[in-house]
Structure 1
């Protein structure tokens, strides 16, 4: 009987240690490769950097458009801006302007 209890105690100890090692291994694996692990964090940081860059680009475009709208506001109209927009929309040129015509092939050449 003493032998059985000794084997049982050794088996219980080994089982406990193996179970603890398996649990630690599982959490270590998930901490590195899991959905929110270290590898995923690198991807999140890269995605965050791309989104910040896109946000800054869009913000700069919005600020440029807002500045243009401010120049065309009803309280204070900038004559040059109004003239430029009118010529662009109507496809007209002032008689005193110098116009340079380029062939479409010249635009493609480096």
Structure 2
């Protein structure tokens, strides 16, 4: 009888501690690794930074195009820019233009004049 009480007095709290530890571990694991956990939050932050960088790059590109469009439209048209754009679109050159053909480097890109 006494042994049974002592075993019950020891095993019952031990079982309750194990059960509460398992439940706590379950919720803690899901708080860190679940779809809305801490790791997912870090992934979302990385994605947000990447998307902000893409937005900044697109904004710079949009500003560059806005500058070029402003030169081609409006009350005064930049004749050099218009001529350059027309030649690029038509694939033509003027008889006075100097054409420099560059050999491609190992990457397949032509060597620039600044980096021979």
TM-score (norm 2): 0.65
SS at match of 2:39: helix
1 or 2, which has the higher helix percentage? Answer: 1
Structure 2 counterpart of 1:107: 104
**Is 1:70 matched with 2:67?**
no
Q: What do you get for the CA RMSD once the two structures are aligned?
A: 3.1
Post-superposition shift, 1:42? 2.1
Distance in 2, Cα, partners of 1:48 & 1:38: 15
State the number of aligned residues: 106
Give 1:31's aligned residue: 31
CA distance, structure 1, for counterparts of residue 61 and residue 81 of structure 2: 18
Per-residue deviation, 1:84? 1.0
CA deviations on 1:12-56 (whole Å, 9 max, x unpaired) are x66665554343222211111111212222222221222111111
- Residue 80 of structure 1 is matched in structure 2 by 80
Q: How does 1:41-80 map to 2 (within 5 A)?
A: 41-80=41-80
Structure 1 counterpart of 2:94:
94
Gaps of 5+ in 2: 1-7, 112-116
1-structure distance, mates of 2:70, 2:58? 18
Aligned-pair CA distance for 1:101: 3.5
What TM-score comes out, normalization by structure 1 length? Answer: 0.68
Q: Secondary structure at the match of 1:107?
A: coil
2:87 alignment partner, SS class? helix
Structure 1, unpaired ranges of 5+: 1-6
